[in-house]
Chain A
């Protein structure tokens, strides 16, 4: 019997196992909760006495596997307390509430998964019973691969029994029968799914049964039976029956894959592989492998149509750039054009003129006037008189000097409650009369700070 799929089975098993173990994580992510629970229910049926005994939440099974990891990393020689296990689970990233973990640990203790380090009541320190460890790992494996691994395991056990120095014929016969039964059950399940299953179910099954080297193992096993038990017809018959079962199983796998290929291509269903596999292919594939894609593709671009309207638009849009930069022409000066700077200058001159006229009015033709009475009328008047006088005093071109006395006048009843007396002096007339006063004020003006 030859492998119908040719030389790919000759791949080193170590590489295949590594690649498959990487893929299991992706498979687990894609398996739905209901799928996993259905598998576990079937797996646990021989062991349970009541319906509904299998957990609803797959995370609880993952927790049991995590408990194994917690124990493997803890260095205590006398077991672990529930609190230590709980902390370890948190460190492992267990996403369950404290009460759920407590309840689950209590259940594991009750069922014997965790047993006391010493057979004493309220001892409080626990270790894992090895059978529980195997059960947790088996539960995880059966959910991931649908139990296909057991077929390989059975073949390995049969091969190991045959390779003993003195193989027991009865034991080998039992193993061969078990292998055949297992294969037949898996093949019948595949046959049923091919007939009635949906594409998604077939894709899941296709993934689970996509394991390499199985055919070669069966062939090797049959050769070994013929070698070790030549002439023992009962065993040779069992070996031949196993090969027939394997052929039947292989035919069902092919039918399932054929149906997936027939349906998947039409709908471009890429669920047949995991996203991780496509990502790995995009990163790691060699150019030769990548170039095997699309060998049937042929260039199919329509010819270019010359659009004269588009050409004209382009010729309008693209203009030659001038070689020299020219200053834009000045706008024409018209009488009606507003000149903002002249307007500002006019406003400033008008303000100056208003101030000067105001102070002239206070002087009333005299060379000097006391501003105190004018300032005492109201705060706005005081401010206006002072700012006008100070502005004109600061301007060297204006013939006004402001003299502010240091004396402070305070009157709580007056409109302006406090002020310094101030005098305004005109400097361009009667210099002889106001000379001393000018000399008194001039240093302030030279300093420019009045």
Chain B
């Protein structure tokens, strides 16, 4: 489905990227991060990037991504709009069974069923190009899945929240098509989907769906992959670095060191760190037992400053309540003495909305957004806990979050004022935007 092209033709008058590329070594330091790295970080935070981007920046990002088995591609999404998406190099794709301690993020059973139904409705002909596919009806997909004995509420959540957030489908009212993440799926995945095509569920309301389909039908398109510089012959070190980065970047949470013994080698670890830094990422040690990747502080600060992947105010408010109840209060009581933003003390929705200024509907919507962003996870025993993204924070970001809660706990105390003063006078020291 992919077609190699030359350079993506994008204008260079971007508001976001306005300078020439900087050395990759600058990433992670206190200076402004590398533009290619920042572009890749934006794609990590939002799934894709829309808007005009300088050719040099795209080229730089594509070269950096290729070192981690990724590639960039241009995708037409209708109405003359073009977005930049990430895909996998030919032959590369994450392996769901490789690291038991840190499996990749996959769909839940019902979300898989809904995805199958969407695929069956949008992609009736396995020979045709799948993206964006035939428009399908939201109600038809729900009816199809409910007829297969799936829980209706779970189906609705998957259809309206999980799959659109993952970029696998795009919903516009009652109409939906396949999303940009579907277009960027590896070719091997599409060939596997083609083999199981006849088993995909078909819409129950076929008539309505077929009547609705011609209206607003988009022309099919494929990702035009950016041709990065031809890499030299891969060494064993390159392969090892690519496997490690693939595992770390697609893992839902930290991976045990025992599952990545190669990182104990200083040379390999340095190579991984350099490759990650060029992709706007950094290697983070969780305690003394696990590895995970995250945004370098400077990259995170730049993304937050420009609003890419930043949390909404209500999401931040609910996250603050969740962290107070699950981390700050237990630790202040000496119950929980771990040094990470993890917790074993889930909080219930009723406790969160004990703060009467936060309404239940607002809190529930915020929790959904936080879960999508990785900052909240559901506890197996009920309630909510800090999510895996909390473990992806660098020490600097962890410290900033700790300070935020100290300021929240005693806004008029000396410590709060000292923190505010330091952030105002030394904005770059911790990557925090100036007040």
**Nearest chain-B residue to A23 (Cβ)?**
B410
| Chain B, range 24-80, C-beta contacts under 8 Å to A | 44-47
**A306→B193 CA distance, assembly (Å):** 10
- A286 at the A/B interface (Cβ < 8 Å)? yes
Q: Is the interface of A mostly helix, strand, loop or mixed?
A: helix
Contacting pair B94 A305 (CB below 8 A): yes
What CA separation (Å) do A416 and B400 show in the bound complex?
Answer: 101
CB–CB A8/B417 < 8 A: yes
- How far is A270 from B404 in the complex, measured between Cα atoms in Å? 12
- Contact A299:B406 (CB < 8 A) given known A304-B181, A311-B112: no
Known contacts A266-B399, A298-B304, A308-B189, A303 near B321 by CB under 8 Å: no
Give min CB distance, B285 to chain A, whole Å. 13
Most buried by B among A278, A285, A292, A309: A278
* Given A8-B412, A302-B249, A303-B250; A282-B317 close (CB under 8 Å): no
B413 CB within 8 Å of chain A: yes
State whether A272 touches B320 (Cβ < 8 A): no
Q: A265-B403, A308-B196, A312-B199 are in contact. Are A298 and B418 (CB under 8 A)?
A: no
Distance A58 CA – B165 CA, assembled complex (angstroms): 59
Residues of A within 8 A of B47 (CB): 303
B96 within 8 A of A: yes
Residues of B within 8 A of A272 (CB): 406, 415
Indicate whether A308 sits within 8 Å of B105 (C-beta atoms), given known contacts A6-B421, A291-B313.
Answer: no
Complex contact A319–B414 (CB within 8 A): no
Decide: A300 near B414, CB < 8 A? Known: A274-B332, A314-B109, A319-B148.
Answer: no
Contact among B116, B250, B372, B399 for A311, CB-based, below 8 A: B116
Q: Which of B192, B301, B412 contacts A11 (CB 8 A)?
A: B412
Q: Assess the B332–A320 pair: CB atoms within 8 A.
A: no
- A296 x B389 contact (CB < 8 A): no
Does A177 reach chain B (CB closer than 8 Å)? no
Given A265-B402, A287-B314, A307 contacting B201 (CB threshold 8 A) = no
The verdict on B355 contacting chain A, using a C-beta distance below 8 Å, is: yes
**A431 within 8 A of partner (CB):** no
Q: For A290, give its contact among B104, B181, B321 (CB under 8 Å).
A: B321
Asked whether A298 and B355 contact (CB < 8 A) given A274-B332, A306-B189, A318-B113, the answer is no
Q: Residue-by-residue, is B287-314 near A (CB-CB < 8 Å gives 1, otherwise 0)?
A: 0000000110000110110001111011
Knowing A290-B320, A315-B199, say if A304 contacts B107 (CB, 8 Å).
yes
Given the interface pairs A261-B418, A290-B408, the reply to whether A314 lies near B106 with Cβ below 8 Å is: no
With A296-B400, A297-B311, A308-B189: A261-B415 Cβ-Cβ less than 8 Å:
yes
Whether a CB of chain A sits under 8 angstroms from the CB of B225 is no
Do A212 and B412 touch across chains, with their CB atoms under 8 A apart?
A: yes
> Which of B192, B318, B331 has a CB less than 8 Å from the CB of A270?
B331
For A256, give the chain B residue with the smallest CB separation. B414
Q: Is A326 an interface residue (CB 8 A)?
A: no
**Distance of A302 Cα from B250 Cα, bound (Å):** 5
Q: Complex: how many Å from CA A266 to CA B432?
A: 17
**A318 in contact with B405 given A266-B399, A272-B415, A308-B189 (CB within 8 Å):** no
A183 contacts the other chain (CB 8 A): no
> B44 to chain A: closest CB distance in Å?
7
| A296–B432 touching, CB < 8 Å | yes
Bound together, the chains give a CA A303 to CA B163 distance in angstroms of 11
- Cβ of A5 under 8 Å from chain B: yes
Q: How many residues of A contact B (CB 8 A)?
A: 72
Asked if A294 is at the interface (CB within 8 A of a chain B CB), the reply is yes
Asked whether any CB of chain B lies closer than 8 Å to the CB of A258, the reply is: yes
Complex Cα gap A406–B409 (Å): 98
The count of chain B contact residues (Cβ–Cβ below 8 Å) is 111
Residue pair B112, A297 in contact (C-beta under 8 Å):
no
Q: Which B residues touch A266, using CB under 8 A? A: 339, 395, 399
A23 to nearest B CB, angstroms? 9
Tell me if A268 counts as interface (CB < 8 A to partner B).
Answer: yes
Q: Counting CB contacts under 8 A, is A277 at the interface?
A: yes
**Interchain CB contact under 8 A, B372 and A306:** no
- Using A282-B329, A308-B189 as known contacts, say yes or no to A291 and B316 having CB atoms under 8 A apart: yes
Cβ–Cβ contact A303 & B181, under 8 A: yes
Min CB gap A411→B, angstroms: 78
With the chains together, A261 CA to B430 CA distance in Å? Answer: 13
| CB–CB A317/B355 < 8 A | no
Residues of A within 8 A of B107 (CB): 304, 306-307, 310
CA distance A430 to B97 in the complex (A): 95
User: A283 in the interface, Cβ–Cβ < 8 Å?
Assistant: yes
- Contacts of B303 on A, CB cut-off 8 Å? 298
CB distance from B180 to the nearest CB of A (A): 11
A245 close to B (CB within 8 Å): no
Given A296-B304, A297-B401, are A5 and B418 neighbors across the interface (CB < 8 Å)? yes
Checking A16, A278, A301, A321 against B105 with a beta-carbon cut-off of 8 angstroms, the contacting residue is: A301
With a cutoff of 8 Å between Cβ atoms, the chain B residues found around residue A309 in the complex are: 96
- 12 A-B residue pairs with Cβ-Cβ distance under 8 Å, sorted by A, are A264-B406, A271-B332, A273-B332, A274-B332, A287-B317, A293-B323, A297-B311, A299-B375, A300-B295, A303-B105, A312-B199, A319-B149
Please give me the 3 A-B residue pairs with the lowest Cβ-Cβ distance, nearest first.
A265-B399, A299-B373, A290-B317
